[in-house]
């Protein structure tokens, strides 16, 4: 069965390369927007709403791929964010070093791994996204998504950017929609909603010069999560984490 899916994915990829069907005419480059946020932070809900608006504005010809990464360093003040993880705190801290910042903070929005600002600043977000759309990106494709036996499986393909140095390939499993009724902490009494909430962010390999990356992936699914509420993202990024060189996103169908 897996060999059949792999063959189908490869044939489909070749068809897309020949026809150019994966890139709508007049399309701009996909933009990856990461928001480091927390339900324990009183200034984060406006940034969460901005991320939802950016997600709604995304189109096939102008894709904006959003990731909501909930840090855990606010959990000590009364409310433990159910979507938080030390992994996201560490990823943000690694960005801090790479971008030359004095400290981490929330809400923080990072566009394509290169531009950061306070996450509720809609003007900065619009400007940074507009600039990122004009930057050529390497093609990234996701095929043959299936969910069974407690696992999500897919085939990921990416092309090597010309001047990049050992770029890394990541996959992300995220919730389309999430919400909480907060009963303590700075947002006590508020009903909060989120989009693109990252459940897993996994490095699946690296690109080598002159070669196309292709790999079957398998991610464990939370049995309590509605599969219709999932999206799968793949992106290529310079080590650091550094500049995002390409990205793609697909819905997970039940």
Is residue 23 over pLDDT 60? no
Question: For position 107, what pLDDT does the model report?
Answer: 98
Average pLDDT, stretch 119-124? 97
Class of the CATH domain delimited by 2-251: mainly beta
Tens digit of pLDDT for each residue in 141-199?
999 999 888 999 999 999 887 766 789 999 999 999 999 999 999 999 999 999 999 99
Burial tier of 52 (Cβ tally within 10 Å: 0-12, 13-18, 19+): middle
Question: For position 165, what pLDDT does the model report?
Answer: 77
Burial tier of 17 (Cβ tally within 10 Å: 0-12, 13-18, 19+): middle
Report the chain's mean pLDDT, rounded to a whole number: 89
> Where in the chain are the domains?
2-251
Is residue 8 over pLDDT 80? no
| Tokens matching residue 79 | 């409310």
List alpha helices for the chain, DSSP H. Answer: 2-19, 45-57, 86-99, 122-133
């Amino acid at each position: 069965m897996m060999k059949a899916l792999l063959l189908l994915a490869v044939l489909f990829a070749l068809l897309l390369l020949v026809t150019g069907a994966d890139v709508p005419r007049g399309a701009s480059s996909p933009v990856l927007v990461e928001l480091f946020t927390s339900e324990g932070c009183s200034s984060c809900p406006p940034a969460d709403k901005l991320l939802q608006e950016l997600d709604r504005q995304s189109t096939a010809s102008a894709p904006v791929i959003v990731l909501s990464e909930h840090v855990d360093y606010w959990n000590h003040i009364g409310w433990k964010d159910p979507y938080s993880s030390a992994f996201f705190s560490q990823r943000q801290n690694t960005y801090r070093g790479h971008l030359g910042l004095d400290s981490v903070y929330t809400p923080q929005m990072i566009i394509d791994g290169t531009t950061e600002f306070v996450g509720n600043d809609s003007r900065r977000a619009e400007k940074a996204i507009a600039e990122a759309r004009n930057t050529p990106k390497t093609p990234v494709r996701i095929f043959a998504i299936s969910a069974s036996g407690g696992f999500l499986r897919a085939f990921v393909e990416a092309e090597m950017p010309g001047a990049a140095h050992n770029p890394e390939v990541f996959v992300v499993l995220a919730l389309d929609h999430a919400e909480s009724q907060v009963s303590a902490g700075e947002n006590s009494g508020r009903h909060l909603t989120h989009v693109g909430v990252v459940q897993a962010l996994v490095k699946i390999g690296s690109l080598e010069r002159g070669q196309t990356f292709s790999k079957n992936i398998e991610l464990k699914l939370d049995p309590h999560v509605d599969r219709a509420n999932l999206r799968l993202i793949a992106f290529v990024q310079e080590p650091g984490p550094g500049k995002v060189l390409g990205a793609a996103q697909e819905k997970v169908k039940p």
